[in-house]
Amino acid sequence: MSGHMTPEEFRRYGRQVIDWIADYQENVGSCPVRSRVEPGDVMAALPDHPPERGEGFEAVLADLDRVIMPGVTHWQHPGFFGYFPANASGPAILGDLLSSGLGLVGMMWATSPAATELETRVADWLAELLGLPDRFRGKGVIQDSASSAALVAMLAALHRADGGRPARSGITRRHTVYISSQTHSAVEKAARITGIGSANVRLVDVDPRTLAMDPSHLDALLAEDVAAGAVPAMVCATIGTTSTTAVDPVRAIGEVCAKYGVWLHVDAAYAGVAAVCPEMRWINDGLDGHVDSYATNPHKWLLTNFDCSVLWMADPEPMIGALSILPEFLRNKATESGQVIDYRDWQIPLGRRFRALKLWSVIRWYGAEGLREHVRTGIRLAQELASWIRDEPGWELLEPHPFGLVCFRPVWDGLDGDEADAATLELLERVNASGELFLIHTKAHGHVVLRLAIGGPATQESHVRTAWARIRKERLGVRG
């Protein structure tokens, strides 16, 4: 078989693929959540060499079931409680399919005006849905992830802090970045990529109870570094840290940043979308103050499949100054008019996919009411689980837990320190090996704790009850 797939062939196989996805969504709950293959199993089932002659698409679908599916951990399973939700809803999948079908590269307004203008509009829609400050309107861009958003923000912060010299001449002075022990590792990685370096990433103390960043220690570190001749580039505050969903005091941190003229980036990758619910808008406290950039991920908890992270800039000019290069082959009348956004200057790569289509599809399908209901369901189920843990002797619940994540640990009779942590990790492995659910762990307050993140569209109260029952059952096996 050779040649391009005809429209008729595409229709036939496309229907099969849609049916396959629909069947998968309908039946994923019957699969073991975590893949059970051993390292190398999938590779061993794949040919060593590519085919000389083209094969039919039926063979692709057959090998999808035979080779690929055994090596899949099912993120859309109702018992997937690891990491954070990675929602994949029908409207988002179809929006992504439309983007793939169009096959456009929306790097500039001129390369497809609709790709740019829909993205600007849908970012404004999301800003309105989340109650973000008006100064972010018209200044949103869809990145692939919050990691890329942090890198773009850091480049913009570095550009502003040093008058644009790093883009022209490289880094010639010591610049510093400020995070807490709970900040996502993406920020330190961004410091490495930008050339600031890990050694200049300063660790701010956290409140020992809430694990939120301490603004007074941030102030002290900034004063110390400025006195030593460093040029502070960026502070990263987090709304909903990865380990425990701690919320940094953005307003107080912003006041410290304003005192020193430091760029403040707010990473709300997971929890930011909770503000779609008016009762959760308290997480936006301080965003109307000294915040230069803000990012949240619809691809986590807002029913939009990966990848879709929205970054807003209070002032896009430092970002554009850091990232814009205009070779002759990209020059065009629209760009030269200054009347359009060229999103190539708002991200690291030149090329970009039409991601706005899937976010547009999701918002139009669910509406504000549907999005709020989804988030509220996750929060409600998390609160129910927390109440069961709180009422069960021999378990310790980590407070607070305002979103869809619950962190907890067993208290082992006669064990403490490393022995207790080892027993908790053994419990985790037994739970995940059951196939009924999947969790991960973190460390908080010096202990290994279990993380159970709720928010999948298929997850119902029955799945959370089953998970809690399995965890309690497997604990008995460890203790025995």
- The 10s digit of each residue's pLDDT in 413-429 is 988 899 999 999 999 99
Q: Which portions of the chain are predicted below pLDDT 70?
A: 1-2, 479-480
- The residue assigned the tokens 């995940």 is 432
Describe the strand order of the beta sheet including 405-410 as a list of residue ranges.
Answer: 395-397, 405-410, 447-453, 440-444
Q: Is the peptide bond before 457 cis (omega within 30 degrees of 0)?
A: no
Rg (CA), the chain: 24
pLDDT of res. 477 = 86
pLDDT of res. 480 = 47
- 95-131 residue pLDDT tens: 999 999 999 999 999 999 999 999 999 999 999 999 9
Q: Where are the alpha helices (DSSP H) in 231-274?
A: 250-260
In 343-471, where do the E strands start and end? Answer: 395-397, 405-410, 440-444, 447-453
Measured between alpha carbons, how far is 190 from 154 in angstroms, rounded to an integer? 7
pLDDT of res. 3 = 87
Under 8 Å between Cβ of 437 and 79: yes
Q: For strand 395-397 and strand 175-180, is the pairing parallel, antiparallel, or unpaired? A: unpaired
Measured between alpha carbons, how far is 260 from 160 in angstroms, rounded to an integer? 13
Measured between alpha carbons, how far is 193 from 128 in angstroms, rounded to an integer? 33
- The residue assigned the tokens 């970009």 is 352
Nearest to 205 by CA among 174, 242, 239, 248: 248
Measured between alpha carbons, how far is 443 from 454 in angstroms, rounded to an integer? 19
pLDDT of res. 479 = 66
Q: Where are the alpha helices (DSSP H) in 247-355?
A: 250-260, 298-301, 317-323, 333-337
* Residue 417 zone, left/alpha/beta (φ > 0; ψ -120 to 50; rest): left
Q: Is 198 exposed, middle or buried (0-12, 13-18, 19+ CB in 10 A)?
A: exposed
Q: What are the angstrom distances between the C-alpha of 310 and each of 63, 124, 172, 300, 456? A: 35, 10, 31, 12, 20
Q: Which amino acid is at 5?
A: M
pLDDT of res. 68 = 95
Measured between alpha carbons, how far is 366 from 293 in angstroms, rounded to an integer? 27
